[in-house]
Structure formats: C-alpha cells, structure tokens
Amino acid sequence: GYPDDSILENLEEPAAAGTSQASILIYGNSYTSGNNLAGLVQTSIQNHDSQASVTSRTGGGMNLDDHASNAQTAGHQWNTTLANGNWDWVILQDQSQVPSFPTTSQYWQDSKAGAIALDGLIEDNGAQTVFLMTWGRRNGDSQNAWRNPDFLTMQGHLEAGYGMYAENVTSSGRQPVIAPAGLA
C-alpha cells in the first residue's frame, strides 16, 4: 500500500520535475487545517534548501466524495484551484473514520468513488496523487467501537482502507503514493 523500495523505483516524476519549486495542493479537513499541514510541509521543504508552494482546501469533516464534488463543480474554489494551478502533487486526506469502515459501507464506497474522480482530475492536470493516511484515535472510535475498539485496530483498518483507495486508482503506468503519517 505505501511506498516501499519497489514502488519508489517506479514512481513517475512530478509534472514539473526539474523546476526550482515544488507545487503542492492539499485537500483535507480539520486534521490538515487544524495542524497547519500546508505551512509545516512548506517550511520542511524550505528547510532542506528547496522551494515549495503549498496550498490547501479544507473543511471540517470533509471526505473524499465531498472534495470530488467540489472539484467537479465549475467555478467552485476547489475546482478553480486545481484547474488553475501547476501542481506537482495533490494530497488527499479523507475524513478520519471513513477509511477504517468496511468496504461495504456506503460511506467507504462514496469516498472510494471520490478518490477515483479526484485522481482522474489530478491526472488531467498533470499532477501525482498522494493519499495522506491518517492516524487512529488514541482510544479507538467510540462511535464505531464494534469496528474500531482501540487504537491499533483502528490504525490497521485505516492502513487497509487507504491501501484499497490506492489500489482502486492504480492503473498501468500510474500509481498513487501513500504517505503513511498514521503509521508514524
């Protein structure tokens, strides 16, 4: 699911490889906005003597289907940001619980459909898709304790869920990256 040596060897270079500045767009929710992920990524890259432009589009509780709907709506800020940018990488972060749900769940199916739609838009815009694997809740998911009774169980389900999102958008010659933040 997430980058290992064999996957990294086969990754496509970002669309603007060789330019002096990486251009990154993040679609997420409070996990990314509340922790200022865009600022942290930009600072981290700049601390390694490189330049980066990092932009985010976030909204509390948003899932991949919500992001896809916005990105597919002409004139919507999510749509214009993606279409008018010269992005190297577009990072997708799903709602914190959904990737851990069974694949038969309508929420999971909707996010999978959103991931597929977003990946198509990202590809059309010449960028690379990156899934930001989130982390399990310290005490599991109290709203879904039957599925995620503790941290380790929830983290295992999140890892599997993001892996299956990636499998569903992988095609010949195009493979997304999973950033395993949840495992870290």
Cα distance between residue 85 and residue 127, in whole Å: 10
Please report which residue ranges of 72-150 form alpha helices under DSSP H.
77-84, 106-124
Cα distance between residue 119 and residue 136, in whole Å: 24
Q: Where are the beta strands (DSSP E) in the chain?
A: 21-28, 51-58, 89-92, 128-132, 177-179
Cβ contacts of 100 within 8 Å, gap of 6 or more: 136, 141, 144, 147, 148, 154, 157, 158, 161
β-strand pairing of 89-92 with 51-58: unpaired
Cα distance between residue 180 and residue 133, in whole Å: 5
Q: What is the pLDDT of residue 15?
A: 42
Predicted confidence (pLDDT) at residue 20 exceeds the cutoff of 80: no
Where does the pLDDT of residue 28 fall: very low under 50, low under 70, confident under 90, or very high at 90 and above? Answer: very high
Q: What is the pLDDT of residue 11?
A: 39
Mapped onto helix, strand or coil, the DSSP state of residue 85 is coil
Predicted confidence (pLDDT) at residue 69 exceeds the cutoff of 60: yes
